[in-house]
Amino acid sequence: MATKLPEVDILLVGFGWTSAIMAQELAETGLSILALERSAWRDTPADMAPTFDQDELRYYWRQHLFQNVSHDTLTIRNNTSQTALPMRRLGSFLLGTGVGGAGVHWNGQIWRFLPSDFLAKSHNAQRYGPQSVTQYDMTVQDWGVTYEELEPHYDTFDKLCGTAGKAGNLRGQIQPGGNPFEGPRQNEFPAPPLPMTYAPTLFAKAASEVGYHPFPHPAGNMSQPYQNPLGAQLGQCTYCGFCEKFACGNYSKATPQTTLFPSLFTKPNFTLKTGAEVLKINLDSNGKRAVSVTYVDGEGREWEQPAGAILLGAYILHNVRLLLLSGIGKPYNPQTGEGVVGKNYAYQITSSVHVFYDDKILNPFIGAGALGMVVDDFNGDNFDHSGKGFIGGGYIALLTTNGRPVEWYAGSHIVPKDTPNWGPKWKAAVAKNYLKSATLATHGAVMSHRGNYLDLDPTYRDIYGRPMLRMTFDYTDNEHKMSDFLTDRATDIAKAMRPREFRANPRKGSWSVVPYQTTHNTGGAIMGATPQDSVVNTYMQSWDVPNLFVMGAGAFPQNPGYNPTATVAALTYRAAAAIKSQYLKAPGALVQA
Amino acid sequence: MADAKDDAQKDGAQRRTHTLLDRRKLLAGGALLGSAGAAMAGGAAEVRGTTIRNGQIWRPGEADYPEDATGAKGYRFFTGAEAAFVEPASERMIPSDDLGPGAIEAGVPVFIDRQLAGPFGRGDHFYLGGPWPQGLETQGYQTRYTPADLYRAAIPAIERWVGGQFSGRGFKSLGGADQDKVLTALEGGDAKLKGVSAKAFWGLFIENVIEGFFADPIYGGNRDMVGWKLIGFPGARYDYREWVGRHSERYPLPPVGLKGRPAWDRA
Amino acid sequence: MTRSRLALALVCAAFAGGLLFAGATLSQSATEAPPQDAAGRADGGLSVEQLLARTTPPNTPNRDQVERGRQLVIAGDCAACHTKAGGAPFAGSRPIRTPFGVIYSPNITSDHMKHWSADQFYRALHRGLDDDGHHLYPAFPYTYFVHVTRADSDAMLAYLRTTPAVAAKRPANALPFPLNIRGVLVVWNALFFHPKPLQTPAGKSAAWARGQYLVEGPGHCGACHTPKNMLGADETSKAYQGGVLDNWEAPNLTADARTGLGAWSVDDIVEYLKTGRNARAQAGGPMAEVVSASTSMLPDPDLRAIAVYLKDRPAAAPNAGGDPDRAAMARGEAIWQDTCSACHLQSGEGQARFFPPMRGNQGVQQGDPTNVVRVILEGVRTAPTPTRPTPLSMPSYAWKLTDREIADVATYVRNAWGNKAAPVGADKVASLRRKLDLIRPPLSSWSKVDQR
């Protein structure tokens, strides 16, 4: 039996990027704000120290910072004809947990979506015909919000993070050295681009020769010391090559800890409780108002925490599951296409091309999560898709994120073609090529499809007896055609880099949970203009329960070809502004259904 | 500064934080965990609820440091019979040759032994609840075994299979070429083992061998940083600012582990 | 005082040889440290108007007086001693550790102070007597507060009487007989408490005089930074040459360039006290508390005044000691390169306001190496302040480096790049590790590799 606690004004569920941003933005209202985080407190000096950070076994292979799937996982299948089975071991994506969430162990790749990405349905239908967005059973939608509306919020996030980069489009003027395809920025990046390691410069030169437009990848790794508008200090990156999957011990990666906590934790009206896992959102008798959450603390006791407004800031898979477990919104049915909760789950499709030199020492261990050069010529609708049989696109990058040997040789297999997996020839290939290898990566969009969705599993339950989330997902021909196209373009660049040899690794077949790909899971709590086709309005407010807001990439109606974090943050800032300026003055629906 | 309760304050000399959230012994018990249930009994400490306001927590001396596995001698998990497979098998996979030491000299079997004797071996990050139907390849690890259980089950099954193929001989007594044939049969799934999937074992084994060769020496493998020296990885260094722009130059400093390098102690 | 009481008191004083009353320090342990970030919210974040509204007659003070009192209470960092970990501001009960026992600070919220008259409060500051006329232990630094003016004393009381009332009772002091008899203090006062009014020499500026008042009076800087005699009283002939307290060394503040403030500009000192960091150093340990809760809240002119006065202390330096062992320096350099240089740079120049320079760093060249050894062992955290809220931290190396490795790298830091200070032995590290109750790592893996 849960013990009821005194009500708070604002309750945040989960404590990663979105909740930390929300707490910081709403603290000025003076309202009482409580965040509940299921796992532990962690901060730079004791938990991320450079005295033990550079340890790929413990952090990646033993998953020290990630969700422990032995407590709670999800079930997975490629389509409804299969039986979903538990993801028994993390692989394809690395779910976060603990204070700071996956924001602690991300790479710091800070992208804005293209203006046309927000109009994926109408824009593509207009340019390529209405079937272009419905073929392959696609369920593509417009977002209900435009790039122009989000731009100031993207800008806020860039300033928070000290993003390093070079603008390609400043107030409509194309700038040399930046991404000429990006939407207009009102301001230049807060910090200059990171200095380049060798391999990205070879990539950029080759890409230019082939006729593309390389530019430095926008980075949440500090190119110089930075003090953000909240006073927080971030130190210059040392290029240690332990960003993604690791925490930064050097205050050099933009994370909730480095950018927000120094200010947020001085707010007397903000409280964080760790070891508090929310099991359910409780509604009032007519189901129109969220009155409280039920959570379990670290000692197994149940508590009921009432709140005036509840903001879900856990990872998308948890947010969607909480909605389903709490009976909020109508669950999506892939047979009928009715219902919205769980609809349009999407992901990312990636591929790679490895290059191997004889005469160039690339020192791959020198790196940072977003250190590299990119071409965006084949992202979104930056190129003519006529006759190609797909919509969407992705970027092609050579990022020197790391030279971690276990990951290279037990994970990514960065060895030349025809190298055996073990034995003297493998050993010789590894010894010969390590310092002289690099990888071009493609990072592609995944459109939404009728058969890709999230719901509750009928068989498997977590330690609390709650049904696990069930993920039904596969790539369709749209993704494969698009990804093959991107891989071919990456191969063109790889050849122009004139290595001794190269090896392309296109993404073939069905999505597999085994190899790591990206932690860019999207959809399931999608946003939109009407309650018929979305779970939340463009202020992330539940259509069904107006004092409930659902943050995160669950709101993406489909997943563009970029990393999601900056857009997640921008949507959060936009929602926070609306909550402050409108909702708190007159609690209720911000958009009339 | 945290106000309110935090039992971690009282834990004496070994001040550690960030123990993983583990409520299994408090809730639901072993009912769902099959073979992992028993292993949980002495499991990790729980993260108890901490209320944090008015400042970020900091306590002197606190560090979420790694366990040093280099201390004791001998095997803690492997039986003699198991070592008689793991040692020669890993050495065939990463042989000692002109390029440098191989798996045994690097301590790979010791590394795997320490891993299997610890939380990894107990499957502390594996979901092992049932039911356990046959999975598809795209669904990844689908056995009820912990890693330790998988080794324990697979090695005798491999030896039985080897005995059947090589007139009763054990893996260790085979010549190198025959040992390679066995490993190839495991890798390809051609070796049909009783009660355990050859491919599931192989997937874990080759991963552990590579880990043992390249992971930080603090875990018992990569002894004397031989894996890193083979390829030119400088290890746990973390400042390459002066080297970002020095293209195609060879980085000059020797590798260093989390617990240092010989120059720390010799002079 | 009767002859017999005096005799008893002298016996007690002798018994207590080395008892650092005035140098008694605040425990840094996790359970007892006061709120690290309670800076500025000791008053619960309320405005002066809100505070005034809480005040009860008869002595309703005016707004200016309360505000001045608030600033003086901040300047005196009263909250530091009078607030326990997780406790209400000024509600007391923080354990103050002395070598012979624990004294618990009293409640000074309005709940308690409403019973005090302005005369009683002034008497406490000036004579070390409580409201009942009992002697206060000089852990309460009345040897400094004696310089507080009557108007300032009244203002401090006026402010304290506006603080949210908390009815907190402190635990009994844990002092052995006969130290638990406050009469002992009559003797101590007779021996050491001879206050003279502050004099401003001719030609000194108004800022200097203001700085003198803040430093020698409410700020009580010498309570930590002046060495103590056997009975815990200031060695006034060695003022500001550095003091030892509870396994910290309060560094030399004289004009010596190697170990004191000689190389610091007035601006350097102001920036340090205001933001917790400057291009030369960062405030850690007990000074981090002082900066967060006190100096970072003071008005800039007062910080400048403090800096002007401190810059005018005559130089005095500790012995730099003999030459370090070359092998130790070589090992120390290797450790420095692998584990320290990413932040502090191989050149020791550091990164201003992020990671302090070690080259020319005064703190690491103190006569006593306690601080440099201690921060390597347990890490250190830069004071968060309103202008620079990030508590940039150095991690603990207790788990990673052996006593000898820490001694070697400390010796290196104290003698590289032109630094000069006595070498550090492994025994010093071992002893501090024991006192701080920190983990002891096994021999490094390298030693073990060698043994195989």
Query: Which fold does the domain C326-451 belong to in CATH?
Result: Cytochrome Bc1 Complex; Chain D, domain 2 (1.10.760)
Q: Which of B67, B242, B259, B261 to mutate to test the interface with C (most CBs of C within 10 A)?
A: B259
Chain A nearest C-alpha distance from C380 (Å)? 9
Mean pLDDT of chain C: 85
Write the CB contacts of B112 (distance below 8 Å, at least 6 apart in sequence): B78, B86, B90, B151, B208, B209, B212, B221
Q: Please answer whether residues C344 and C217 qualify as being in contact, where contact means their C-beta atoms are separated by less than 8 angstroms.
A: no
Q: C242 — alpha (psi -120 to 50), left (phi > 0) or beta?
A: left
Mean pLDDT confidence for C354-368: 96
Q: Residue C19's pLDDT is what?
A: 36
- Indicate the residue type of B44: A
Q: Which chains touch B (3 or more CB pairs under 8 A)?
A: A, C
Distance CA(B63)–CA(B258), nearest Å, equals 13
Is A520 an active-site residue? yes
Rounded CA separation A494/A203 (Å): 7
Residue C35 pLDDT level (bands cut at 50, 70, 90):
very low
Taking the CA of residue A414 as centre, how many other CA atoms within 13 Å lie in the half-sphere pointing to its CB?
28
Three-class secondary structure of residue B50 per DSSP? strand
Query: So what's the pLDDT on residue B48?
Result: 55
Report chain C residues whose CB lies below 8 A from the CB of A265.
37
DSSP assignments along C83-122, one per residue: B-TTSPTT-B--EEEETTEEEEPPP-SHHHHTT--HHHHH
State which H helix or E strand residue A354 sits in.
strand A349-356
B214: contact with A, CB 8 A cutoff: yes
Quote the tokens at residue C76.
């005196």
pLDDT tens for A518-551 read 999 999 999 999 999 999 999 999 999 999 999 9
Q: What's residue A105's pLDDT? A: 98
DSSP state of C289: H
**Chains with 3 or more CB pairs under 8 A to chain C:** A, B
Instruction: Give the range among A67-76, A100-109, C60-69, C133-142 with minimum mean pLDDT.
Output: C60-69
Burial class (CB in 10 A: 0-12, 13-18, 19+), C64: exposed
The count of residues in chain C is 452
Flag if A424 and B137 touch (Cβ within 8 Å).
no
Average pLDDT, rounded, for chain B: 84
Which residues in chain A have Cβ-Cβ distances shorter than 8 Å to C394? 45
> Is C334 in Cβ contact with B63 (below 8 Å)?
no
pLDDT digit string (tens) for A291-336? 999 999 988 899 999 999 999 999 999 999 999 999 999 999 999 9
Residue A234: strand pairing partners: A226
Tell me the nearest-neighbour CA distance from C304 into chain B, angstroms.
28
A53's tokens = 């950070």
One-letter amino acid at A13 equals V
Q: Is C351 on the interface with A (CB under 8 A)?
A: yes
Query: CA torsion angle for C345, C348, C349, C352 (degrees, to 10)?
Result: 70
pLDDT at C34: 33
End-to-end C-alpha distance for chain A, whole angstroms: 37
pLDDT > 70? residue B16:
no
Which residues are registered as beta bridge partners of A352? Answer: A441, A505
Rg of chain B in Å (alpha carbons):
22
Is residue B224 less than 8 Å (CB to CB) from chain A? no
Structural domains in chain A? Answer: 3-583 (3.50.50.60)
Residue B267's pLDDT band, with cuts at 50, 70 and 90, is low
Catalytic residue among A123, A354, A480, A520: A520
Backbone torsion region of residue B181, taken as left when φ is above 0, otherwise alpha when ψ lies between -120 and 50, otherwise beta: alpha
- pLDDT at residue B56 greater than cutoff 70: yes
Structure tokens at A179: 């991404």
- Tell me the pLDDT band of B145, cut-offs 50, 70 and 90: very high
**What sign for the dihedral angle of Cα C178, C181, C187, C188?**
positive
Q: Do C395 and A263 touch (CB under 8 A)?
A: no
Locate the chain A residue with the closest alpha carbon to C342: A238
Contacts 24+ apart (CB under 8 A), B165-170: B170/B84
In total, the C-beta contacts within 8 angstroms joining chain A to chain B are 299
pLDDT at C25 exceeding the cut of 60 = no
**C chain contacts of residue A231, beta-carbon cutoff 8 Å:** 386-390
Q: Collapse the DSSP code of A370 into the 3-class scheme (helix H, G, I; strand E, B; otherwise coil) and give the result.
A: coil
Inspect the interface and report whether the beta carbons of A427 and B95 lie closer than 8 Å: yes
C397 in reach of chain A (CB within 8 A) = yes
> Which pLDDT does position C47 carry in this prediction?
52
Interchain contact, C384 vs B9, CB within 8 Å: no
Helix (H) or strand (E) holding A147: helix A147-161
b/e per residue C435-444 (b: at least 16 CB within 10 A)? ebebbebebb
B210: left (phi over 0), alpha (psi -120 to 50) or beta: alpha
CA distance A556 to A552: 8
More confident residue, B11 or B223: B223
State whether residue B18 sits within 8 Å of chain A by CB. yes
Q: Which residues in chain C touch residue B65, judged by CB atoms under 8 angstroms apart?
A: 399-400
Note whether B241 contacts A: Cβ–Cβ < 8 A: yes
DSSP state of A58: I
Q: What is the pLDDT of residue B71?
A: 80
Question: CB of B91 within 8 Å of any CB in chain A?
Answer: no
Residues of A in contact with B36 (CB under 8 A): 70
Q: Is the CB of residue C381 less than 8 Å away from at least one CB of chain B?
A: yes
Contact status of A232 with chain C (Cβ, < 8 Å):
yes
ipTM, two decimals, is 0.96
Q: Do B15 and C34 touch (CB under 8 A)?
A: no
**Is residue C141 classed as helix, strand or coil in its secondary structure?**
coil
**Position of tokens 């001698």?**
B73
Alpha carbon of residue A498 to chain centroid = 33
Closest residue in chain C to residue B7, using alpha carbons only: C31
* Crossing angle for the helix pair B198-214 and B176-188, to the nearest 10 degrees: 120
pLDDT at C184: 84
Q: Is A359 exposed, middle or buried (0-12, 13-18, 19+ CB in 10 A)?
A: exposed
Q: With an 8 Å Cβ cutoff, is C436 touching chain B? A: yes
Q: Which residue pairs from C341-350 have beta carbons closer than 8 angstroms and sit at least 24 positions apart in sequence?
A: C341/B239, C342/A50, C342/A238, C342/A240, C342/A250, C342/B237, C342/B238, C342/B239, C343/A50, C343/A235, C343/A250, C343/C394, C347/C417, C348/C413, C348/C416, C348/C417, C348/C419
- The tokens for B208 are 């552990």
Distance of residue A273 Cα from the nearest chain B Cα, in angstroms: 5
Q: CA torsion sign, A63 to A64 to A67 to A72?
A: positive
Q: Which residues of chain A have pLDDT under 50?
A: none
Percent of chain B surpassing pLDDT 90? 75
Kindly indicate the confidence band of residue B38, based on its pLDDT and cuts at 50, 70 and 90: very low
Beta-carbon count within 10 A of A458 CB: 12
Q: Which residue of chain C has the CA closest to A44?
A: C393
Partner-chain residue, chosen from A49, A225, A258, that has the shortest CB–CB distance to C395: A49
Q: Which of A326, A244, A238, A237 is nearest to A278 (CA)?
A: A326
Which two structure tokens, joined as six digits, stand for C242? 């550095």
Spatial separation of the C-alpha atoms in residues A23 and C65, rounded to whole Å: 36
User: Are residues C330 and B256, on separate chains, in Cβ contact within 8 Å?
Assistant: no
Give B21's pLDDT tier (boundaries 50, 70, 90).
very low
Give yes or no for A172 touching C (CB within 8 A).
no
**Measuring CA to CA, how many Å separate A533 from each of A139, A331, A338, A340, A566?**
10, 12, 9, 6, 24
| pLDDT at C183 (0 to 100) | 82
CA separation for the pair A340, A331 (Å, rounded):
6
* A543 half-sphere exposure, CB direction, 13 A CA radius: 22
pLDDT in tens, A437-469: 999 999 999 999 999 999 999 999 999 999 999
CB-nearest partner of A225 from C41, C351, C394:
C351
For residue C45, which residues of chain A lie inside 8 Å, CB to CB?
268
**H or E stretch covering A234:** strand A233-234
Please tell me whether the peptide bond between C58 and the residue prior to it is cis, using omega within 30 degrees of 0. Answer: yes
Q: Smallest Cα–Cα separation from C309: which of C352, C254, C350? A: C254
DSSP codes, B157-173: HHHHHHHHHTTT--GGG
pLDDT of B19 over the 80 cut? no
**DSSP per-residue codes, C303-322:** HHHHHHHHTTSPP------S
User: Which pLDDT does position C41 carry in this prediction?
Assistant: 31
Yes or no, beta carbons of A427 and B97 under 8 Å apart: yes
**Nearest-CB residue to A250 (from C44, C342, C353):** C342
CB-closest option in A39, A57, A409 to B21:
A39
Across the interface, whether the CB atoms of C37 and A266 are under 8 A apart is answered: yes
Expressed in angstroms, the distance from the first to the final Cα of chain C is 72
Q: Which of A42, A248, A275 has its CA nearest to residue B17?
A: A42
The answer to whether the Cβ–Cβ distance between A463 and B47 falls below 8 Å is: no
Residue A15 and residue A101 in contact, taking contact as beta carbons nearer than 8 Å: yes
Which residues belong to CATH 1.10.760.10 in chain C? 326-451
- Residue located via tokens 């369920």: A139
As a whole number of angstroms, the distance between CA C334 and CA C419 comes to 17
- Give the CATH fold of the C206-310 domain: Cytochrome Bc1 Complex; Chain D, domain 2 (1.10.760)
Q: Are A527 and A340 in contact (CB under 8 A)?
A: no
CB-based contact B10 C38, cutoff 8 Å: no
Longest dimension (CA), chain B: 72
